[in-house]
């Protein structure tokens, strides 16, 4: 079949019902499979924990070695993704929920893509520089995007701090492609006294992965 990689999807079990969480296994002594397992676990964690109701779902980022036949006899990089313990009540509910299933598989698919492309696991981040402006100024600033998100990236800006007596508003935007400049604009309208706005920025890529940050604009009146 000319397969380049092999992925096995399992649910796990333990005599102790308190044991839970996602684990990825590889055949001991197989460095390529170990790297694949590490990347897969990392991106599955990122994807699952982007869902608020699963933000604390336990994921073992360090892969487990073993002598499972599925991995041992494979002639290509091979991993077993144990998405949770069906012997644990919380994991069992998650495993059967479509939202969890979708998030886990999106993360696994991304891990496969990154492994095939020779990339490691890098957390999706978005950083918007702070801006210090004078009344009447307008300035374009470039946001920095980290990790390997799937475009487009949509972001919203929510006001979390605003100097009393000023009207502060949020905003939103889209970054369509990694090759384009990720530019946003900051404008300081008529300011009779110094004021400050702080936004909380939430960015979401096409895979549903979420990154949050804060950015500040300080405005000063003209001297």
Q: Show me where the domains of the chain are located.
A: 6-116, 125-220
Instruction: Look at residue 222 in the predicted model and tell me its pLDDT.
Output: 83
Question: DSSP letter string over 175-213?
Answer: E--TTS--EEEEE----SS-EEEEEEEEEE-TT--EEEE
**Nearest to 65, CA basis, from 107, 115, 30, 108:** 30
Q: Check if the beta carbon of residue 213 is closer than 8 Å to that of residue 125.
A: yes
> If you classify domain 125-220 with CATH, what class do you get?
mainly beta
- Determine the Cα–Cα distance for residues 180 and 14; give it in Å rounded to an integer: 49
Tell me how far the alpha carbon of residue 170 is from its chain's centroid: 23
Please give the model's pTM, rounded to 2 decimal places: 0.87
Number of H helices, E strands in the chain: 4, 13
Q: Write the pLDDT tens digit of every residue in 27-38.
A: 999 999 999 999
Q: Check if the beta carbon of residue 144 is closer than 8 Å to that of residue 84.
A: no
pLDDT surpassing 90 at residue 203: yes
Please give the order of strands across the beta sheet that includes 23-27.
Answer: 6-12, 78-85, 23-27, 64-66
Q: Which CATH number fits domain 6-116: 3.40.630.40, 2.40.160.40, 3.40.50.2300, 3.40.50.720?
A: 3.40.630.40
Alpha-carbon dihedral sign for residues 153, 144, 177, 45: negative
Instruction: Look at residue 190 in the predicted model and tell me its pLDDT.
Output: 74
The mean of the pLDDT values for the chain is: 95
């Amino acid at each position: 079949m000319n397969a380049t990689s092999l992925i096995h999807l399992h649910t796990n079990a333990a005599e102790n019902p308190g044991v839970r969480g996602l684990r990825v296994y590889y055949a001991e002594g197989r460095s390529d499979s170990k790297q694949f397992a590490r990347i897969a676990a990392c991106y599955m964690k990122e994807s699952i924990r982007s869902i608020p109701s699963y933000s604390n779902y336990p994921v073992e980022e360090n892969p487990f070695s073993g002598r499972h036949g599925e991995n041992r006899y494979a002639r290509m990089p091979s991993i077993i993704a144990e998405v949770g313990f069906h012997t644990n009540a919380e994991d069992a509910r998650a495993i059967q929920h479509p939202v969890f299933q979708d998030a886990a598989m999106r993360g696994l698919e991304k891990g496969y893509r990154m492994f095939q492309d020779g990339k490691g696991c890098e957390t999706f981040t978005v950083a918007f520089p702070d801006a210090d402006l004078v009344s009447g100024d307008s300035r374009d600033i470039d946001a920095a995007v980290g990790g390997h998100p799937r475009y487009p990236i949509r972001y919203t800006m929510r006001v979390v701090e605003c100097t009393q007596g000023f009207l502060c508003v949020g905003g939103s935007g889209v970054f369509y492609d990694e090759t384009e400049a990720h530019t946003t604009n900051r404008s300081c309208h008529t300011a009779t006294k110094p004021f400050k706005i702080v936004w909380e920025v939430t960015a979401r890529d096409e895979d549903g992965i979420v990154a949050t940050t804060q950015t500040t604009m300080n405005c000063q009146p003209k001297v």
